[in-house]
Amino acid sequence: MKLLSYSAKGQTYVGILEGEGIGRVDAPDMLSLIEAGSRATPDGGRDVLKQVEILPPLRPGKILAIGRNYVEHARELNNEVPSEPLVFAIMPSAVIGDGDEIEWEGALTSQVDWEGELAVIMGKTARRISREDALDYVFGYTVANDVSARDLQTRDKQWVRAKGLDTFCPIGPCIVTADEIADPQNLTIVTKVNGVEKQNGSTANMIFNVGLLIEFLSRAFTLNPGDMILTGTPSGVGKAADPPQFLGDGDLVSVEIEGIGKLTNRCRVL
């Protein structure tokens, strides 16, 4: 099922997306639903999709992300292909939802780039999990844009600011439960800027698949229900273009993953 967090008439809800309608779920928020470990149960209330405000589907406790997880993306930026997952963290305060604005100060960064990615939402506490069992711990999947300030990334030598600025982690619009994604390594990711296709890749081309990533991360950290893993981006980022291309004020960037949905955000330079 496709699960949404949304606001209607001053109240926030979790709901099941059903065409142009939403069936309200008996849960105060998405994290509570995930932590309960039970299937979403409708409470009888309904709303019309066009009449509600879509919120970020989840406020993750941790956001762990993987760099250079596609060979062609590593090569397009003249980086070595990693021999093990390259892990970094993103601030939860960077999360925004579908339709929200990506904002940044022009005096802080002028090289803001897109990175369409598959995001994995953990459903159970995971510590030292094998890759063979890893998908049993997944609650679902959503769409993410790992927005990146390339000038800060180069200058700082590490990625906390470049990847973690407020609004730099759009996710959504929904979470698709794991039972509806037969194979997370068989999904197409398409990123467009102002309607022009920039990225078109497949999760089949990940260097380290979802199961291996969960195994690797759970050896270092306890993964809790509601934690999120960004699995890397395919080739086609703006920095790799000739000449380089970056997002600007008013640009509209969208990331679409088949079977999950389309995440769209407009950019604003402060």
Q: Architecture of domain 63-269 in CATH?
A: Alpha-Beta Complex (3.90)
Question: Measured in whole angstroms, how far is the alpha carbon of residue 69 from the centre of its chain?
Answer: 15
pLDDT of res. 146: 98
The CATH code of domain 2-55 reads 2.30.30.370
Tokens at residue 178, please? 């794991």
Residues carrying CATH 3.90.850.10, the chain = 63-269
User: Could you report the per-residue pLDDT of 17-73, keeping only the tens digit for each?
Assistant: 999 999 999 999 999 999 998 788 888 899 999 999 999 999 999 999 999 999 999
Is it the case that residue 194 has pLDDT exceeding 90? yes
Cα–Cα distance, 14 to 26 (Å, whole number): 8
State the Cα–Cα distance between residues 106 and 146, nearest whole angstrom.
Answer: 19
Q: Return d(Cα 213, Cα 130) in angstroms, integer.
A: 10
Distance CA 136, CA 37 (A): 12
Mean pLDDT of 169-191: 98
Residue 40 is predicted with a pLDDT of 85
Locate tokens 């090289």: which residue?
A: 111
Percent of the chain whose pLDDT exceeds 70? 100
Q: How many helices (H) and strands (E) does the chain have?
A: 5, 19
pLDDT at 49: 96
Average pLDDT for residues 167-184, to the nearest whole number?
98
Q: What are phi and psi of 230, to 5 degrees?
A: -90, 125
Give the per-residue pLDDT at 195: 98
Domain with CATH 2.30.30.370 in the chain: 2-55
How far apart CA 194 and CA 96 sit, in angstroms, is: 19
Three-state secondary structure call for residue 194: coil
- pTM for the model stands at 0.97
Average pLDDT of 205-224? 98
Reported confidence tier of residue 236, pLDDT bands at 50, 70, 90: very high
| pLDDT of 220 over the 90 cut | yes
d(CA 195, CA 219): 41
For residue range 95-120, what is the model confidence (pLDDT) as tens digits? Answer: 999 999 999 999 999 999 999 999 99
Average pLDDT over residues 72-98: 97
Check if the beta carbon of residue 262 is closer than 8 Å to that of residue 255.
yes
When pLDDT is cut at 50, 70 and 90, the band that residue 166 belongs to is very high
Asked whether residue 228 carries a pLDDT value surpassing 90, the answer given is yes
